Structure formats: C-alpha cells, structure tokens
A = this chain, B = another copy of it.
C-alpha cells in the first residue's frame, strides 16, 4: 500500500528476495497489506501452514513498532503458532507447535536478549532489503521530512543500526533478538563478550 507502485513491480521484488536468501517457502497467506489483524481466519490460515512446514524456530516482529502491520503480525504469528498445537481444531495434519519463538526488529527500541554476529551475512541481507526498492524513494530525490525514506537513507540507517548492535558484542555487524524465556548456558567460563 505504501507507495502506490504497480502491483507487478512489488510481485517481482517479492519473488527476488527468496532467491537471494535461499528460502524454501515464502507466503503472505492472503493477509492484506495495511490491514494485518490477528483475526480468527488469519490465525487458522497460519496454523495450517505451521502444521505443514513444522518449523523448529519462528521469528516474529517485536510487539511494539511504528507500523501497525508489524505489531499486529506479531500477535497474529504468536496466536497462529499456539492454535497449530491444538488437537481438536478442524484443521488437517498433525498438531504441531514450534519449539522456539524469537522476536526481532529492524529498528531501534527493543531490549535485546542476545545479539548474533551477522558480519558474514551482512552483504546478502543488505542486497535482500534493497531489493524492495520500490517501497522507498529514489536517493536524494526529495527532501527529508516526507513520509517515505529515500533508498540511500535506508541503506545508511541499516548500516548504522547493524554496526551499533555489532559494537555491543565486539563485531562489525550484529542483529538483536529477544526471547521471553530465560537463556540457558552450559559453561560460564566460555561465554563470549568482554565485561570490563
């Protein structure tokens, strides 16, 4: 809905990203742009998909965000995973629930439980995000203060954030995640990240 680009352009971009990131599956399950809601219908569609894909780990957007679609997707994702495990639901396939649910965000403000070193993956990740270029303004074409971010501003902002997160653990680029349950550690003398 963002920029009013032609649906064809958006579809082409959306098809490109899974190739860059080597995804085996990608889908939006019919949830409409700018109207993501944790409705019964969307939750059941997701539960069905979860039973088919049987993911060990699910990564959801953090539950606070600037874009309402992002925080509603977080609720929808959690409740869809929960429903997938209920035996008596009128859904095909065996009940299944992911083992792990993690929360991530590409923007600031989420208190990180842990950070992952993505220095090696950063170039690929950057290529994937910039592939959605129709959602952003061309570089330098318009003044800041407008609603949409220019593509070069986005690139700089992503770089800044990933470097700041990397700095927290002493690497070049980092990606923060949050989990609600406590971390488990096997060996306290092998923990990375200098304290002092």
Contacts and interface: CB of A to CB of B under 8 A. Distances in A.
A66 B117 CA distance: 23
Given A86-B2, A164-B160, A81 B183 contact: no
Interface of A: 1-4, 34-35, 40, 56-57, 59, 66-68, 78-79, 81-83, 85-89, 95, 97-102, 108, 112-117, 144-145, 147, 157, 160-161, 163-164, 167-170, 176-177, 179-186, 188-189, 191-196
A157 B147 contact: no
Given A57-B191, A102-B195, A177-B185, 20 more contacts: A4-B87, A34-B89, A59-B188, A68-B78, A68-B82, A85-B147, A95-B147, A98-B195, A98-B196, A100-B189, A100-B194, A114-B182, A114-B184, A115-B184, A117-B186, A160-B163, A160-B164, A168-B181, A169-B182, A181-B194
Tell me which of A68, A161, A167, A191 has the highest count of chain B C-beta atoms within 10 A of its own C-beta. Answer: A191
Contact of A196 (B97, B185, B192, B195): B97
A100 B191 contact: yes
Contacts of A144: 170
Tell me which of A95, A184, A193 has the highest count of chain B C-beta atoms within 10 A of its own C-beta. Answer: A184
A90 to B, nearest CB: 10
A3 B99 contact: no
Given A167-B157, A183-B183, A88 B4 contact: yes
Contact of A185 (B99, B108, B116, B157): B116
A35 B79 CA distance: 10
Closest 4 interchain pairs by CB?
Answer: A114-B183, A4-B87, A101-B195, A114-B185
A99 B194 contact: yes
A125 to B, nearest CB: 14
Nearest to A55: B189
Contacts of A193: 100, 179, 181-184
